Structure 1
Amino acid sequence: MLYQLTIEHCPRDTLDDITSLLEDAGTLSITLTDKNDEPILEPEIGTTPVWRENVIQALFDNKGYAESQLNDLQEQFPWLTGTIEEIVEQDWQRASMDLFQPQRFGENLWVCPSWITPPNPDAVNVILDPGLAFGTGAHPTTSLCLHWLATAPLDNLNVVDYGCGSGILAITALKLGAARVQAIDLDEQALQATQSNAAINRIPPAQLIIGFPNIIQSNNDLLIANILLGPLQSLKNEFKRQLIPGGTLVVSGLLSEQVECLITHYTPDFILQETQIFDSWALLCFKLV
């Protein structure tokens, strides 16, 4: 049996002390979550992001030991309150599979997990096994990109998917008519996931180039980057080099309040063509001057 000790309110200034005591006590794992839905994006290098108020969940394999640790903590921190509950073991792989269901984008594009038969076999179906890489279509930024691709004229275009994750955008672009796509990422697991998903979708290897940023070939019609604000800012000149004059740049991965900052940063080299907002996240479409 496993037992979870939950501390509902832990201020930032006592977090290190409490988690250190739990670690010394031999807890199986410690999970930190935000109590007040306070987002933390792109923490400074070398720092550990924590919130002002945290929820701590510590896992033990003995209920009596969990109760003893809670009592010890309350002696040192009288304000601390906590609960202990038994954790019912689950088939986590099956649970995660159940959460990933077929999704439709636009009129005729479906993203379907590899273990489910596509609802519409005559549609453009992208079959996906995300593995350890980001990108199932469920996140608002991925959804924004997929909706954009579903309505864009992609026939015979050369495309770059920068930050390809699972390969979902790269494979979608090819299935919607792109001539060639370069799927780029810094994460080896993402490149492996993209390779695997390309095979599932029977993508011809000559049409999909997968690799690290140093392999990118220039003269592309479209570059799509679903990454965070910081990299989007630092990569502006790189994106300019990879696009043809008049080429299209689609970026997502930024919050709606970050839009004006990025537009200012990209002007006047790029001209804003379109802005879409979904669930506080944004997609911007630019044209290279």
Structure 2
Amino acid sequence: MASLFELVLLVPESAVESVSDALDALDALSVSVEDADALTPAESALFGEPGMPPPKDGWQRSRVVALFSEEAAARDAARLLALQDFFVGCQTLGVQSVAEQDWVRLTQSQFEPVEITPTFWIVPSWHEPPAAAQQVIRLDPGLAFGTGTHPTTRMCLRWTAQRDQTARRVLDYGCGSGILAIGAAKFGASDIVAVDIDPAAVEATRLNAAANHVTLQAGLPDLAHGVFDLVLANILATPLKVLAPLLCAHVAEGGGQLVLAGILARQADELRDAYAPWVALEVSDEEEGWILMTAAKR
């Protein structure tokens, strides 16, 4: 099997952006940046709260790995970088061959069926459903968030599976892959609207709905009109707080349900306060530090 070649560099934080840009210009197939001190006492976190932008371009000591199709190209890139002013303080660790892999098979092997309840499973198209599965969502990893592997998605689906959705009107706000909307349809909802600010997510939702033989409307947020018996929003705490008036306005009076996820356990009080003018949120589920918050609009 043919090989690719890695150029491995040790780069201080101040030069990460310049080196990465130069590698792109030198036709690297890919460039990745890692903490050179990972798994040591000097390891440091780079990212902050979920949903917040990274505060830095790299770590204090970053390991930059560039992939090239030919060894000569990798060695030429190392030679040219060494001549640049911005490369002062950087170090070339070497060039090494990397066997090409069947990336499709490798990716598929990382996604196994996901259990939501003992009888409800998320199953990639290349797997057979488990024998115990009575209800299945067929979903392959894609560009849009929501494959069933994240605790927030599992908690939303578990909540839906434990309640009768027959004849209910459902809104999935921030639909991503459409998995929550599809889950509502699988458990009886008949009028489903799924919206997202990302056109790629809208298209993913339409494709996934068709693959699961589910009928729904998918579009940008202005597609959502009127009130719904169930409003689902699996986003993150900060946008959920901003969206509080809008989401609550979509929840039907007299028992309409609001289900929110993407919230860390320590953020529960913030969300309760943000939604207090309209509904009384409570924690309904918790998994791996994430919580599900729900409320009924009386």
Supply the distance in 2 between the matched residues of 1:24 and 1:242 (Cα, whole angstroms): 49
Does residue 157 of structure 1 match 2:159? no
Supply the distance in 2 between the matched residues of 1:175 and 1:240 (Cα, whole angstroms): 24
1:109 Cα shift?
A: 0.8
Partner of 1:50: 57
Does residue 220 of structure 1 match 2:222? no
> Structure 1: where are the runs of 5+ without partners?
none
Does residue 174 of structure 1 match 2:180? no
Question: Contact conserved, 2:237 with 2:267, CA < 8 A, in 1?
Answer: yes
1:14 Cα shift?
A: 2.5
- Residue 202 of structure 2: which of 188, 191, 199 is its match? 191
Supply the distance in 1 between the matched residues of 2:19 and 2:100 (Cα, whole angstroms): 26
SS in 2 for 1:258: helix
1:105 Cα shift?
A: 1.1
Give the alignment's Cα RMSD to 1 decimal: 2.7
Partner of 2:19: 18
Q: Percent identity?
A: 34
Partner of 1:5: 7
SS in 2 for 1:220: coil
User: What TM-score comes out, normalization by structure 1 length?
Assistant: 0.85
Supply the distance in 1 between the matched residues of 2:76 and 2:160 (Cα, whole angstroms): 56
Aligned partner of 2:261: which letter?
Answer: S
- Residue 258 of structure 1: which of 267, 270, 279 is its match? 267
> Structure 2: where are the runs of 5+ without partners?
39-43
Partner of 2:218: 210
1:78 Cα shift?
A: 4.3
Supply the distance in 1 between the matched residues of 2:179 and 2:190 (Cα, whole angstroms): 16
Supply the distance in 1 between the matched residues of 2:98 and 2:211 (Cα, whole angstroms): 36
Distance 1:28 1:124, change over 3 A: closer
Supply the distance in 2 between the matched residues of 1:79 and 1:247 (Cα, whole angstroms): 59
Question: Contact conserved, 1:25 with 1:69, CA < 8 A, in 2?
Answer: yes
Supply the distance in 1 between the matched residues of 2:267 and 2:58 (Cα, whole angstroms): 20
User: What TM-score comes out, normalization by structure 2 length?
Assistant: 0.82
Distance 1:191 1:121, change over 3 A: farther
Supply the distance in 2 between the matched residues of 1:122 and 1:106 (Cα, whole angstroms): 9
Partner of 1:107: 118
Aligned residues: 283
Partner of 2:67: 59
Distance 1:79 1:13, change over 3 A: closer
1:95 Cα shift?
A: 1.8
Supply the distance in 2 between the matched residues of 1:131 and 1:18 (Cα, whole angstroms): 30
